[in-house]
Amino acid sequence: MAEQMKLSQSRSWKLTQALRFASRILRGEWALGTIADSMRPHVKRWGRTIYLRLPLSPAAKNRLLEFAYKNAGPLFEGHGYKDSLLDEFRGQPISFPYVDEPVVSVIIPVYRGLDDLHNCLRSLAAFIETEPALEVILVDDCPSEPVTHAIPDSGGLVKLFNRENLGFLLTCNRGAGRARGRYLCFLNSDTMVTKGWLRSLVEAFEETSKAAVIGSMLLNPDGSIQDSGWRILQNGWGYPIGRGGDPRNGAYTYRRIVDCVTGACFFVSKKIFVDLGGFDPVYAPAFYEEFDFAFRVQAQGLKVICEPRSKVVHLGSASYGAEMRDQLSERNHAKFVKRFADTLPKHPTVTDDEFQLRKERDKGPVVLIVDLSVPHSDRYAVGITVSRYIHQLAEAGWHVVFAPFDGKADDSAAEILERQGIEIIRNPWTIEGWLAENGRHVDYVWLSRPDIAESLIEIVKAHSSARIVY
């Protein structure tokens, strides 16, 4: 043992480590999964060291972070996000208790895909204790091969079977007709929900004046963003905000008004849904029905909101083949463009500036506020004062970006800001990197404390023509 220890500490052993590693791969001793497992404990440490030493601009480093998370997220996180979520509710019984007055009716259109449906329902059941009272309505839309019979019965689970294949849109409308909840949440069967997903949607609705539709941040199976709300362009096609990005990035984690949210998780007041006649059958069997509904509610002076605290994994299992999907999208896109010909000219034409796409169209000036840390209004007087100023600016229609100089923004105080629609710059993203990408949009920069002002004034001037307030 002593000899082995001596050998492992020798210079020759360390110098030949890479050769031994390569030879084991060539001999087939290590599969790629095993290699990844062996590297994970070191990747975060190596990654941080490399990140700090790279001779790149802050903006380039921020883009590198996004690329790394998108293409090698599981390597950094431990394993795939989908797998970690499955581990949370593996073996979870599928059972939903009957409630006299459900707050939300969760409506799930079903078309084959029993395995996906099992995972969806297990995730719902696993987190039911943290969510508002709910009922689950399954509407099976495959008469020739129904799968809902395989789901165990329970008091809070309603099963409907279509006598003929109606398609996604009409199946959703049928489910809504049987709902008892004050709110409806249309949920794809190829989704998995996370803790707090439904509570966050209800809170967003009840805390936002004139709210009509709320959507979750949708995640890909690897944990990257699928979309955090949508912007519709002048040509009528949609742009998914944040696609491929890191769900921890403060650019995507604050509550905000969007043009629309997707039907994979579509939360709406039942009264509003009924008053507007549900999804318009003109778009049957599917595609563009949720965009059309979102535009119709906005025409009534109501709001469509993305609530990123609610996170839902969407696997994207296609009920329609690629050819049929493209045909239906083209056909319904033409109907949508014709119907909203007077509205679409007000929308953007290009997608190369995501700050402008995620910023609400009617927002006023952009202000970047920098303080030592996230303000805690319950701890000290300065925190109370800063919190009030931030709130007043947001209420006045400003787009407020808050940057804690210490980079820490993962507590309840940060959540309070994001629920008010405040964008936050948090670690590992930097103030300089954010300014390098978005500084041209900033009208005012508010710097507090002498040391913060001294370290940032030149950086602000280098990346922005904003007026500096101290």
Length of the chain: 470
The residues near 335 (Cβ < 8 Å, ≥ 6 apart) are 282, 283, 288
What pLDDT digit, counting tens, does each position of 245-299 carry?
999 999 999 999 999 999 999 999 999 999 999 999 999 999 999 999 999 999 9
Judge whether residue 336 has pLDDT over 60.
Answer: yes
The pLDDT, as a whole number, for residue 142 is 97
Top mean-pLDDT range of 248-252, 323-327, 383-387: 248-252
The pLDDT, as a whole number, for residue 220 is 95
Cα 358 to Cα 257, 346, 363: the distances in Å are 9, 15, 11
Same fold for the pair 104-354 and 363-469? no
Mean pLDDT of the chain: 88
Of the candidate CATH numbers 3.40.50.20, 3.40.50.720, 1.10.287.130, 3.40.50.280, the domain formed by 363-469 belongs to: 3.40.50.720
What is the distance between the alpha carbons of residues 252 and 254, in angstroms, rounded to a whole number? 6
The pLDDT, as a whole number, for residue 361 is 77
What pLDDT digit, counting tens, does each position of 178-227 carry?
999 999 999 999 999 999 999 999 999 999 999 999 999 999 999 999 99
Q: Mean pLDDT, to the nearest integer, of 439-466? A: 96
Q: Confidence band (pLDDT; 50, 70, 90) for 318? A: low
**Per-domain boundaries in the chain:** 13-77, 104-354, 363-469
The pLDDT, as a whole number, for residue 243 is 96
Tokens of residue 354, six digits:
């995501």
β-partners of residue 217 are 311
Superfamily of domain 104-354: Spore Coat Polysaccharide Biosynthesis Protein SpsA; Chain A (3.90.550.10)
pTM, two decimals, is 0.83
Judge whether residue 22 has pLDDT over 60.
Answer: no
The pLDDT, as a whole number, for residue 249 is 97
Judge whether residue 6 has pLDDT over 70.
Answer: no
Q: Mean pLDDT, to the nearest integer, of 148-162? A: 98
